[in-house]
Amino acid sequence: MQQIKIFKSIESELTTMEDEINQWIAENDINVVNILGNIAPQTPTGPGMGTFSSSDVLLVVLYNK
């Protein structure tokens, strides 16, 4: 039976998110079918040019267990 798991983080913490996903896959003997993702558009944080907050990152893992 296929299931989904949703992971959410911010762009500046992608390495941590990758580690979390890889650990979850390894510890739970997950058979990944597909991974879908989205990065939200950046929004300015202040009046100066070139200052943007980290974007939200959403990953959906479709898997068989």
- Asked if residue 45 is part of any domain, the answer here is no
Query: Could you read off the pLDDT of 49-59 as tens digits, one per residue?
Result: 666 678 999 99
Contact 8, 60 (CB under 8 A): no
Domains of the chain: total: 1
47 in any annotated domain: no
Residue 54, pLDDT score: 82
Give a yes or no: residue 51 inside a domain: no
Q: Is residue 28 assigned to a domain?
A: yes
**For 17-41, how does the pLDDT look when each residue is reduced to its tens digit (9 = 90+)?**
999 999 999 999 999 999 999 999 8
Within a domain: 49:
no
pTM of the predicted protein model: 0.80
Q: DSSP for 10-34? A: EGGGHHHHHHHHHHHHHHTT-EEEE
Domain coverage including residue 12: 2-39+56-64
Longest pairwise C-alpha distance within the chain: 50
